[in-house]
Amino acid sequence: MQDGNPGRGGSLLALSADTSTPEGDLKDARLAAGGDTRAFERLYRGHAARVHGLARRMVGYQEADELTQDVFVRAWEKLDTFRGDAAFGTWIHRVAINLMLARQQSRKRDRQRFEDDDARIGLAPVRPRPTESKVDLEAALESLPERARRVFVLHDVEGYKHHEIAEMMEITVGTSKSQLHRARMLMRQQLVT
**What are the residues binding another protein (CB under 8 A)?**
7, 11, 15, 33-37, 40-41, 44-45, 48-50, 52-53, 57, 64-65, 68-69, 72-73, 76-78, 80, 129-131, 134, 137-138, 152, 156-157, 162, 177-178, 180-181, 184-185, 187-188, 191-192
Length of the chain: 193
Q: Least Å distance between CB 189 and another protein? A: 10
Instruction: Tell me the C-alpha distance between 178 and 173, whole Å.
Output: 9
Q: Least Å distance between CB 7 and another protein? A: 7
Instruction: Tell me the C-alpha distance between 50 and 40, whole Å.
Output: 16
Instruction: Tell me the C-alpha distance between 64 and 70, whole Å.
Output: 10
Nearer to another protein, 71 or 169 (CB): 71
Instruction: Tell me the C-alpha distance between 49 and 131, whole Å.
Output: 21
Q: Least Å distance between CB 155 and another protein? A: 8
Nearer to another protein, 80 or 85 (CB): 80
**Of residues 52, 53, 13, the one with CA closest to residue 134:** 53
**3-state SS record for 67-117:** HHHHHHHHHHHHHHHCCCCCCHHHHHHHHHHHHHHHHHHHHHCCCCCCCCC
Q: Least Å distance between CB 113 and another protein? A: 23
Nearer to another protein, 126 or 185 (CB): 185
Nearer to another protein, 1 or 173 (CB): 173
| DSSP letter (8 states) at residue 125 | P
Nearer to another protein, 112 or 125 (CB): 125
Q: Least Å distance between CB 180 and another protein? A: 6
